[in-house]
Amino acid sequence: MKLPNYDDVLRAAHHLAHHAHKTPVLQSRTLNESLGAQVFFKCENFQRIGAFKFRGGYNALASLSHAQRQKGVVAFSSGNHAQAVALAAQLFNVPATIVMPKTAPAAKKAATLGYGATVIEYDRLTEDRELIAQRLVEEKGMTLIPPFAHPDVIAGQGTAVKELIEEVGQLDVLFVPLGGGGLLSGSLLAAQALSPACRVYGVEPEGGNDAQQSLTAGQIVRIDYPESIADGALTPALAPMTFALIQQYVSGVLTVNDTHLVSALRFFAERMKMVVEPTGCLGAAAVMQQLIPLAGLRVGVVISGGNVDLAQYGQLLSAG
């Protein structure tokens, strides 16, 4: 297994130039004053398709041969990776089929279809999305673009933190949402290269803390049915590739519960006038709960996405 490195992140940045948005880095004076810290939010909710996933999806397709593109691509995803691959495929004029759970947010499913992809639905409890995708690979010769266990996907995701550090300078600590580990793995590569003293923490839902358990056990731990409103982080387990990178470089993995996520979601809506999906609030929630001391530090936080079903969003705001 060949792990990606920072050179791969640099190549991804070249592929993404003029195609991905250079998303804004925002601060909240209110939050900075309450923490006694400088907090820099990398707002990937303003990325194309509304999430960081466009970076990895586009870089993966950009790295394919002409012959591979002609046969099309297949991906499996609960939403944001689906949209990323669908849009990237549209831009490259490549056929795309996306395997999505029947319970995926309606907005994410509609957007995936809107980008021209074919959607195959499956039952999370009784069917294996990877087996469905693998059948398409074998029967039609399509190329699988997995959501996180792929060097080009990881390298693409790392460009978000590359941009963040290049814009704001050295960081003391960085918080990154964690599901399958693609964003965290890429972020670790960028942080190691550009701000080597920075401590990097992954943040996952309390009801799906497989990565935290994996680090403790020294091997990959699987949670078959993780539960949280952070639907984008409900991956049962890390992949060997992401686990290897996280185990090598991460400072730790933290967890937050759904109440913490709703509080962060409300903060973004009320104080920063931003729509952020629950998964995108993971890093911010860890900061707002001060799970590690932050006073006097320069803190980076990746907001991973803003794709939330409006009906669910309204309910979460009302419940907060």
Q: Provide the residue type at 213 as one letter.
A: Q
Helix, strand, coil tally for the chain in percent (to 5): 50, 15, 35
Query: What confidence tier does 12 reach under pLDDT thresholds 50, 70, 90?
Result: very high
- The mean pLDDT of 258-284, rounded to a whole number, is 97
Among candidate residues 42, 50, 53, 280, the one labeled active-site is: 53
Tell me, yes or no, if 34 is annotated catalytic: no
Model confidence over 207-229: pLDDT tens digits?
999 999 999 999 999 998 899 99
Tell me, yes or no, if 78 is annotated catalytic: yes
Task: Kindly provide the residue ranges of all beta strands, DSSP E only, lying in 206-287, ordered along the sequence.
Answer: 252-256
- The mean pLDDT of 39-43, rounded to a whole number, is 99
Among candidate residues 57, 214, 304, 309, the one labeled active-site is: 304
pLDDT at position 264: 98
Q: Is the pLDDT of residue 256 over 80?
A: yes
What span, in angstroms and rounded, lies between the C-alpha atoms of 14 and 167?
17
Residue keyed to tokens 């600590």: 173
Tell me, yes or no, if 195 is annotated catalytic: no
Tell me, yes or no, if 208 is annotated catalytic: yes
Among candidate residues 63, 77, 78, 185, the one labeled active-site is: 78
Q: Is the pLDDT of residue 159 over 90?
A: yes
Topology (CATH level 3) of domain 6-51+150-319: Rossmann fold (3.40.50)
Q: Is the pLDDT of residue 116 over 90?
A: yes
Tokens (6 digits) for 98: 């996306």
- The mean pLDDT of 114-126, rounded to a whole number, is 92
Q: Of 171, 176, 165, 172, whose CA–CA distance to 201 is shortest?
A: 176
Query: What confidence tier does 113 reach under pLDDT thresholds 50, 70, 90?
Result: very high
Tell me, yes or no, if 210 is annotated catalytic: yes
Question: What is the location of CATH 3.40.50.1100 in the chain?
Answer: 6-51+150-319, 54-144
Among candidate residues 8, 44, 206, 210, the one labeled active-site is: 210
* Number of Cβ atoms within 10 Å of the Cβ of 148: 24
Among candidate residues 8, 44, 163, 204, the one labeled active-site is: 204
pLDDT at position 320: 55
As a whole number of Å, the CA-based R_g of the chain is 18
Among candidate residues 156, 208, 280, 283, the one labeled active-site is: 208
CATH of the domain spanning 54-144, picked from 1.10.8.60, 2.60.120.590, 3.40.50.1100, 3.40.50.10860: 3.40.50.1100
pLDDT at position 309: 82
- Name every residue whose Cβ is closer than 8 Å to that of residue 293 and which is 6 or more positions away in sequence: none
pLDDT at position 95: 96
Query: What confidence tier does 240 reach under pLDDT thresholds 50, 70, 90?
Result: very high
